[in-house]
Amino acid sequence: MLNMLFRFGTPLLGIGCLVMICLILAGQPWSLALLESDGAQEFKIVCLSIILEAFPFILLGVIFSALLQVFVTDEMIRKLTPKHHLVGILFGTLLGLVFPLCECGMIPVVRRLIRKGMPAYIGIVYLLAGPIINPIVFTSTYAAFRSQPQMAYDRLIIAFIVTVVIGLLLHRFMKGSPLKEASSVNIPAHRHEHHIEHAHRHAKEHSPEPVKKNRRLSATLSHASDEFFDMGKYLIFGALLTAFIQSFIDRQAFEAVAGQPLLSYFFMMGLAFLLSICSTSDAFIAASFGGMFHTGPLLAFLVFGPMIDLKNTLMMLSAFRARIVLSVTLMAFALVLVSVWLLEVLR
């Protein structure tokens, strides 16, 4: 569904902009009035501010991701994986501090790690914690909530607690491999694996050292550009939707939702699931709702979205068994909801 939206939405949006420009040039008064309305002005300000603030962090994230995908092999990570389950869970939870990959690129990487011998519960813990517990996301969250720096620390703490609990539950109750059969696995075209295998294959060739370096540099740039445009479209879509919601929907409707303790949590977690925004930029979306919602629902948005969202769910279903995906989703939803609610109550 999202693929269809992004495939046809961009040209339709371009056609709409072209039609609007023609109407403006033709001197249609209603088109000028529409663009100069208060709602349109607020829409432009909110949308552009979110995009401009978030893009530097997306660029930094894709550069880190590309370097790791090309220069760090799965074998290196597998050798470093602890044998004890509790230490392994902590290892998976904190692995994002060293290897801050994006959500989209982590699924094929984790699948390969599990196939090469990494315990499945550690791989899934890394899949959930990596998009949040990493330095790039912490920096972007701190920048988005300049007046509330505690939000950045709370986000890390809650994500750490939730993923550790999920890891313990998976270790205790998950039997067998969570992966689908190799013949049925079909990761959507994110092209991460192509660049990784491409780089590794050339790294093994007996070609001169400068040639190998050039090929790795080419693979790094190719991977970074693919990932930048892949994540950028989700950011733009999220910024457009957020700006539309805040500009054209009556604020009293938000105040009614924000005034309901449980409903406000469900609303923000559902919004995070649908928007499917990269964790390096979702803090700026959440910060734009800061004047309407309390810290609890905002934290629920910041923690649940990077763990489980629409695009990630579709990609997980293509690599993992449906029962495992459903179990992890329900555990993440319940644990995030309880954790942020308790944090807000205790404060």
pLDDT tens figures, 92-133? 999 888 877 766 667 777 877 787 778 999 999 999 999 999
Predicted local distance difference test score (pLDDT) of residue 144: 93
What is residue 290's three-state secondary structure? coil
pLDDT tens figures, 282-338? 899 899 888 889 899 999 999 999 999 877 787 788 788 999 999 999 999 999 999
- DSSP state string for 19-67: HHHHHHHTT-HHHHHHHTSHHHHHHHHHHHHHHHHHHHHHHHHHHHHHH
| 196 pLDDT more than 70 | no
pLDDT tens figures, 8-25? 555 666 676 566 566 555
pTM: 0.71
Q: What is each CA distance from 204 to 47, 74, 197, 233, in whole angstroms?
A: 46, 15, 11, 35
Higher pLDDT, 162 or 261: 162
| 235 pLDDT more than 50 | yes
Rounded to 5°, the CA angle 200-108-11 comes to: 105
| 200 pLDDT more than 60 | no
Rounded to 5°, the CA angle 9-12-17 comes to: 120
For residue 50, give the amino acid letter.
Answer: I
Rounded to 5°, the CA angle 97-101-103 comes to: 120
